């Protein structure tokens, strides 16, 4: 299992979108999850966690019987691919979880015995998680892509270049405190590290709220730092000429 690097996001955007779409379609009342089997950005199969037909998810008893009857999102994605007669050798499987508002949240460990056996049986290459836990904790569930869109940035612009001092300081504090936590508690493993990033970001968001501050996603978006430098240069030149 590995975490998805930010630079890979554009390359597998259709896969990410499909996984989120599947998670939102999950009838599960306990935990909505989506999965996509893909190879070279080509989607081979999709699925979400749901009870097998003809059973259905009854909200009144869902949580009590979920573990006994549900089929995992990864399993349904693999079955969907096999029904389409796809070759799964060396394919990857992407897994994501959404909350009741449809926003992505950190997933738990994916190494359940059933899904692990499927990976080995059909020679899947890897599980992939989207690494946005720190941002999601601090920005109330918003992913890096969501923040990018909310700021109305250009495709190649970095969100870090369009943060004001207050927002940038919050993110710097989040990053430094997460690293300190990882080192102090000797946190090992990608999933546990991901959970640490999320919890620290969430705690900082809670502190901002308690202090009566503005949530980071509601702060104004300043101009790009390059534009600021250009404007400053022009202003300096004008002052000299005057």
How far are the Cα atoms of 98, 103, 146, 210, 226 from residue 217, in angstroms, in the given order?
Answer: 19, 14, 10, 16, 22
Q: Which residues pair with 128 in a beta bridge?
A: 2, 94
CA dihedral 133, 135, 139, 145 (to 10 degrees): -100
Tokens of 215: 């949530």
Predicted local confidence at residue 119, as pLDDT: 81
pTM of the model as a whole: 0.58
pLDDT at 228 over 60: no
At 195 the pLDDT is 82
Reported as a pLDDT band with limits 50, 70 and 90, residue 5 is very low
Residue 52 is given by DSSP the state P
pLDDT at 173 over 70: yes
pLDDT tops 80 at residue 24: yes
Name the DSSP class of 183. Answer: H
Complete domains list, the chain, with CATH: 2-131 (3.40.140.10), 134-241 (no CATH)
């Amino acid at each position: 299992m590995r975490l998805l690097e930010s630079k890979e996001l554009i390359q597998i955007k259709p896969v990410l979108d499909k996984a989120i779409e599947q998670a939102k379609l999950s009838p599960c009342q306990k935990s909505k999850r989506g999965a996509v089997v893909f190879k070279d950005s080509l989607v081979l199969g999709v699925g979400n966690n749901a009870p097998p037909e003809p059973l259905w998810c009854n909200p009144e008893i869902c949580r009590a019987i979920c573990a006994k009857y549900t089929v995992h999102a990864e399993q349904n994605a693999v079955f969907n691919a096999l029904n389409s007669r796809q070759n799964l050798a060396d394919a990857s499987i992407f897994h994501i979880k959404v909350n009741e508002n449809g926003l992505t949240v950190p997933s738990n460990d994916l190494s359940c015995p059933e899904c692990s056996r499927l990976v080995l049986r059909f020679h899947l290459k890897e599980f992939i998680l989207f690494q946005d836990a720190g941002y999601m904790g601090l920005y109330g569930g918003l992913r890096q892509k969501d923040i990018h869109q909310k700021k109305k940035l250009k495709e190649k612009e970095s969100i870090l270049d369009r943060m004001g001092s207050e927002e940038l300081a919050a993110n710097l504090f989040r990053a430094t405190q997460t690293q300190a936590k990882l080192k102090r508690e000797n946190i090992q493993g990608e999933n546990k590290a991901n959970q640490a990033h999320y919890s620290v970001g969430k705690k900082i968001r809670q502190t901002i709220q308690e202090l009566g501050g503005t949530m980071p996603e509601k702060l104004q978006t300043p101009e790009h730092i390059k534009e600021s430098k250009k404007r400053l240069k022009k202003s300096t030149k004008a002052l000299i000429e005057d």
